Structure formats: C-alpha cells, structure tokens
Structure 1
C-alpha cells in the first residue's frame, strides 16, 4: 500500500478546526503591512503554513521536521517573519516574543480560538448519542492473504434544532 505524502495545505490542517484562521491571517497581514509596507501583500503560503504549525502547538523544530527542513532554518525564518509580525500587532505585549509558545498563548487569550462548546454551530452539529452494533465478524485466509471483515450498524442521534440541508431546501420551497 502506497501512502501519499501530505501536501503543504494538508500539513497542520487541524489548526482550522480550533482557530479562526481568517481573522488570524488578517491580523498578521495588517501587522506585516505596517512593518514591511513594500513587501508582498498578504501572508505567503509559507508564512501561513508556519503559523498553522504554531497554532497546532508545534515548536519550530517540530515544524521543520514535518517539512523535512533544518530546525535552525525554520527558527531563522520564523524570527524574520512571523515573530516580527507578532511584535507589530498593537495589542500584543511590548516585551519580546520570547519563544514560540507566546504566540499560541496570546492568540488563545485574545479570543482567536473557535468556540467548540455546545453553544456554537459546530457543537450543535455533533451527535449527542452514538451507538455501534457489530453484526458480524468474518475471518478469511486465501492464498496467504488474511482478511477480517467486520459488519457494523451505527446509529447517531443529533440535537433536534439541527436541520439537515434537505430540510432547509424543503422549508424554502
């Protein structure tokens, strides 16, 4: 079986699940514009990638390992880009960034994390009850190829205020 190497967009994609990436990108873009007015508009794909890595609580060396880069190179890149932009955000503490954890912690305290409580849309769309019933297990061994077949039934119960896309379409007709 061939495993596909994750693309750069796939790396640290879980940051989008817990952080408001658009607001964070806008915040860092504005800081970049103030610090480097003649630079390329917006964050580069590489800057976004490293920022997502920080948001996933990865150190610069962890990020470098994921990208098959040198740890020192990642640290230098982040010092010249993201850390400078972070210092340029008016609301951030005036002291130096110190280390990569400060970016993560400050953004968390400043409210850039997505609310995953029951009050959010995401929280309401999760099932409130799940039942899994195994109906059959079969073992096969053909030509030295072992196969296990498992038949299951899954029942998910969602909160009543969540509408499916079909219900919305019917209501609008």
Structure 2
C-alpha cells in the first residue's frame, strides 16, 4: 500500500484522492502516511522527525535530495 500511496503523491494526487481510489477512509490513509511513508521521506531527505506536514512537499523534498526520476526522450524520427 505504501508504494501505491507514494506513486499517488508523486503524481500529484492528494491523500483524500488516494483513499477514494483505494476504497479506504481518508483518515486511515492520512494516519498510515503520517506513521510510515512521511517518516521514510524525512529519513531519506535528512529532515527532522515530524517535519513533513504537507503531502505536496514529498515530491519536492525527494527531488532536492536527488531522487528525481529520469525523463527519457525517444526520437521516433519519421516513424509512421
């Protein structure tokens, strides 16, 4: 579930939207994020414990710490 939540956050989905998609209560997802994923992000980005308070900071913090996903460019030339 943490992987799904992380993907959702990285794609810009709010915890509420993630909860709707997973057919869970938004409160249960918020608690799970606060107890788990947010603590991992803080550790990976060398931040203080309980300093992540806004889900929108997750992608920003990971990118600053060097965890940016590469964007691949494909040159299709003259392919039909």
Calculate the TM-score normalised by the size of structure 2.
0.79
Q: Does the residue aligned with 2:33 lie in a helix, a strand or coil?
A: helix
Alignment of 1:134-173 (within 5 A): 155=80
Q: Kindly name which structure, 1 or 2, has the bigger radius of gyration based on alpha carbons.
A: 1
What corresponds to 1:92 in structure 2? 46
Q: CA deviation at 1:78?
A: 0.7
Give the aligned CA root-mean-square deviation in angstroms: 2.0
Correspondent of 2:15 among 16, 40, 60: 60
Aligned residues: 79
Q: CA deviation at 1:126?
A: 3.6
Give the number of the structure with larger relative contact order, counting CA–CA contacts within 8 Å between residues 6 or more apart: 2
1:127 matches 2:76: yes
- The structure where helix makes up a greater share of residues is 2
Q: Does the residue aligned with 2:66 lie in a helix, a strand or coil?
A: coil
Question: Is the CA contact 1:92–1:106 (under 8 Å) kept in the aligned structure 2?
Answer: no
Gaps spanning 5+ residues in structure 2: where?
A: none
Moved over 3 A (4+): none
Question: Is the CA contact 1:60–1:74 (under 8 Å) kept in the aligned structure 2?
Answer: yes
Gaps spanning 5+ residues in structure 1: where?
A: 1-45, 117-121, 131-154, 156-173
1:66–1:98 distance in 2 versus 1, CA, 3 Å: same
Calculate the TM-score normalised by the size of structure 1.
0.41
Alignment of 1:1-150 (within 5 A): 46-89=1-44, 91-94=45-48, 96-116=51-71, 122-123=72-73, 125-129=74-78
Aligned equivalents of 2:24 and 2:76: distance in 1? 40
